[in-house]
Amino acid sequence: MNRIACITGASSGIGLATAKVLSANGFRLILCGRRLERLEALKKDLLTESYLLTFDVRDRNGVENAFQSLPSTWQSIEVLINNAGNAHGMSAIQDGDVADWDAMMHSNVDGLLNVSRMVIPGMIQRASGHIVNLSSIAGKQVYPNGNVYCASKAAVEALSQGMRLDLNIHGIKVSNVAPGAVNTDFSAVRFKGDQQKADAVYNGFEPLLAEDVADLIQYIVTAPEHVNIADVTILPKAQASATQIVRKN
Ligand code: 8X3
């Protein structure tokens, strides 16, 4: 039977691109997201069987109910891609909107934990599994006005290390992926639909595409069993750090 991968935030961006590439590689997929119509559209596009779970990663009970509802044929999750997460707002710490802070900490940190705790026990029981956490260059380097988003991704970095230490004796691999600028709806969400501001983030250079990150994830989860790609930063060629991008106008 084909390996089962579970992807959170599968309805757009890196999650959607990862679903397509893993399906092309023969994985059966559990697609998680908030927007059922989008997941249904994606399901139709895939080459392999998929199972849809709709929940908001922030809702611990909703996450529990969703995973408990999985039929037995879908319970042996071998690969978990913790992709769901977003940035909300970008302002100096003294100007931060508490609703934005909550949204980022609750989805990027609590959400990752809410999902992981439902999948890890099965992996431990089977003494096998692979967790891939989507961090960010922002988890490694703080940039001006990035404060809480950067903190949420720094927490992901710490959780990747912590999971790797704790799950090592159980035969479970943990990988951390830290992308730089990727042209998805990330900036449109961060700037609450202000498309001009969002477009400006990617002006004057060639950013990564969601597919570039998906290809890396595919490499990570199909590496030989004895190989763990523990931590990868992936940047566009024009980007050297969280704050330095060469732009041509
Ligand atoms: C997304 C990359 O640099 O916009 O996580 O924070 S950045």
At 161, list the tokens. Answer: 């290390």
- CA angle at 130 for the pair 124 and 133, rounded to the nearest 5°: 115
At 87, list the tokens. Answer: 């940035």
pLDDT in tens, 193-205: 999 999 999 999 9
Residue 43 CA to ligand 1 center (angstroms) comes to 28
Residues whose CB falls within 8 Å of the CB of residue 94, separated by 6 or more in sequence, listed in order = none
The answer, yes or no, to whether residue 1 has pLDDT greater than 90, is no
Residues in the chain: 249
Q: Is the CB of 242 under 6 A from ligand 1?
A: yes
Atom 6 of ligand 1, residue of closest alpha carbon:
138
pTM: 0.97
Residue 230: band (very low, low, confident or very high) from pLDDT cuts 50, 70, 90? very high
Domain extents in the chain = 4-234
Residue 246 CA to ligand 1 center (angstroms) comes to 16
Looking at residue 249, what is its pLDDT?
75
Q: Is the CB of 235 under 6 A from ligand 1?
A: no
Residue 71 CA to ligand 1 center (angstroms) comes to 36
51 has catalytic annotation: no
Tell me the C-alpha distance between 209 and 217, whole Å: 13
Q: Strands of 79-82's sheet, edge to edge?
A: 50-54, 28-33, 4-7, 79-82, 129-134, 172-179, 231-234
Q: Which of 51, 143, 149, 219 is catalytic?
A: 149
Fold observed for domain 4-234: Rossmann fold (3.40.50)
Torsion of CA 104, 176, 246, 243, to 10 degrees: 50
